[in-house]
Structures are given as C-alpha cells and as structure tokens.
Amino acid sequence: AQSVSQHNHHVILSEAASLELGCNYSYGGTVNLFWYVQYPGQHLQLLLKYFSGDPLVKGIKGFEAEFIKSKFSFNLRKPSVQWSDTAEYFCAVNAFGNEKLTFGTGTRLTIIP
C-alpha cells in the first residue's frame, strides 16, 4: 500500500518569500503524483500533477514541483508567495492504473502581508 508524508504541518512566510513544501511517498511501483490546494472555505483544487515525462512540472498560479524518483519525493515550490496563497496544501499519489488517491496529512500555509 502506498503512503504519503508531508513533514511541514504549518508554514508561516512573509509575502515575496520563496516556498518549498516537502512531500515523500512510499510505493514500489509506478505512481502518479498530485498537489491539491484547499483555500479557506473552498473545495480541493488541483495545483499540478505528474504522470510521466519531464520531472519538473508547472501548475497554476506560479507553482511547480519536481519529481525525484530516487528520493521518492515530489516537493512543491513557488519563488515568491502572495497573501492569496494562504491555504492548506495536500500532496497525493495513486498507483499507475488505479484511481484511488492516497493523501498526505496536509501543510497549512499562512502568508503574512
């Protein structure tokens, strides 16, 4: 069974700071990787996803993530955060050929104006 670890539970940054949120997964086979965001009072939205190809994927709102297979990692990055990025961020994985998503426990990001 796959599992996902997000080690940063709560991150507080000032506007314009750079962001990196960690995500590690545990699974021996081929995986698809996702980052979802949940803004206050809103539903889960897809930020970006990796299925195959270039391990550096770009998503919406200036976010990107890099898949490092040897480290079982899929860290989320943004060079300069904005106050509107305040939200809960979830890393998720599914095994190739299986739609079931396994989520991490989430990272709460607070941006101080």
Partner 1 sequence: ETGVTQSPTHLIKTRGQQVTLRCSSQSGHNTVSWYQQALGQGPQFIFQYYREEENGRGNFPPRFSGLQFPNYSSELNVNALELDDSALYLCASTSRLAGPSTDTQYFGPGTRLTVL
Which range in 21-29, 30-38, 61-69, 76-84 contacts partner 1 by CB under 8 A?
30-38
Q: Which of 28, 29, 42, 70 binds partner 1 (CB under 8 A)?
A: 42
Asked whether position 17 contacts partner 1 by CB under 8 A, the answer is no
Phi first, then psi, for residue 102 (nearest 5°) are: -110, 125
Asked whether position 7 contacts partner 1 by CB under 8 A, the answer is no
Tell me if 23 sits within 8 A of 35, measured CB to CB.
yes
Asked whether position 102 contacts partner 1 by CB under 8 A, the answer is yes
Supply the DSSP string of 33-97, one letter for each residue. EEEEEE-TTS--EEEEEE-SS-SEEE-GGG-EEEEEGGGTEEEEEESS--GGG-EEEEEEEEETT
Q: Which of 29, 43, 54, 70 binds partner 1 (CB under 8 A)?
A: 43
Asked whether position 97 contacts partner 1 by CB under 8 A, the answer is yes
Phi first, then psi, for residue 82 (nearest 5°) are: -120, 160
Residues 61-90 that bind partner 1 (CB under 8 A): 90
Binding site for partner 1 (CB under 8 A): 4, 6, 32, 34, 36, 42-46, 49, 51, 90, 92, 96-106
